Structure formats: C-alpha cells, structure tokens
Amino acid sequence: MNERARRVVQALLHIEDTPHRTALAFGVGVLIAFSPFLGIHMGIALIVAFLFRLNRVAILLGTYINNPWTLAPMYLAGTSLGCLLLGVSNDGLEGIDWELTGAAFRETLWQTLRTYMWPFLVGNTLLGIVCGLVGYFLLRRFLERRAAARAAAQPVPEA
C-alpha cells in the first residue's frame, strides 16, 4: 500500500489517536453494546464515531462484545439489575409457555415481557455505563503502558 493510501486509511479509521481517544471510543462502543436497540448497534457506533471523529476500529470492537454468544447473558444481567433497582420480581419469566405457537405465543410473550421493559432499559443502560467506564480505563492504561514501553525501547540518538 502506498504512503498516500495508508494515510487516507489511518485518517478514516482514526487509528493514530491518543490512548485517551482510542479508549474513549472503545468505552462508548461498550456502552452501545448494552443499548436496547438490538440489531443496529453497529450502525449507531459508526454514526457516533463519525459525528465525534472517534476511532472507528475501537468503537466497533467495543460494540462487538455484544454478539450471539454474549447477548443473552448481557441482557439478562442488565434486566436483573433493573429488576433489583426498580423492585420488580423477575419470577414472571417462568410464566412463558414455550409450547404455544403463533399469535397465542406472541400474546403470552408480550404480556410477560411488557413487565420487564423498564428494568431492561434502566438495567442495561446502567450496566453499559459501568462496563464502558471499566473498558475505557483498562484500555487506556494498557495503551499508555504500551506507548511508554515502546518509547523506552527506542534508542536515544546521540548528539
């Protein structure tokens, strides 16, 4: 790849950002991963990255912590936190009749899950903020240590 193309790619992705800005993008991505807008996390992340000129790679990596393997545990943890904070019992989920089909299943599911809408929103938002902050501080510390180690390993030019 020639030098001009490399600079264009770096500018588009913002991969030459400071540790603070890279970690900030990652933390925002983690927050977005917990948002209730299932299925459009990547779009939201890219819009936020372009609007605030954040590192696109870092924000997408943060967003990708929400994937098919982590989706259920993340949303369950957030909803459970919301139930705890709002005083909503989470025993109602056992009332879903998984043997039903069609409209009967959708109606039962809606009646059961409707109770958990606010706990889902509140719990996942709070958990996203906390996890985003933790992700920010951990990545920033890692990147700063890596930069310091690189600087120490470079030979000092003699005068």
| pLDDT tens sequence across 86-97 | 999 877 766 667
pTM of the model: 0.80
Q: Is the pLDDT at 11 greater than 80, yes or no?
A: no
Distance, in Å, from the CA atom of 26 to the CA atom of 58, rounded to the nearest integer, reads 5
156 domain residue, yes or no: no
Q: Which stretches within 14-116 are classed as H helix?
A: 19-33, 41-52, 56-63, 71-86, 102-113
153 domain residue, yes or no: no
What is the count of structural domains for the chain?
1
Give pLDDT tens digits for 33-61.
999 888 899 999 999 999 999 999 999 99
96 domain residue, yes or no: yes
Q: What is the extent of the structural domain holding 82? A: 3-148
72 domain residue, yes or no: yes
137 domain residue, yes or no: yes
- The tokens describing 129, both together, are 């903020």
Q: Is the pLDDT at 125 greater than 80, yes or no?
A: yes
125 domain residue, yes or no: yes
* Torsion angles phi and psi, residue 85, rounded to 5: -70, -35
158 domain residue, yes or no: no
Distance, in Å, from the CA atom of 80 to the CA atom of 119, rounded to the nearest integer, reads 7
9 domain residue, yes or no: yes
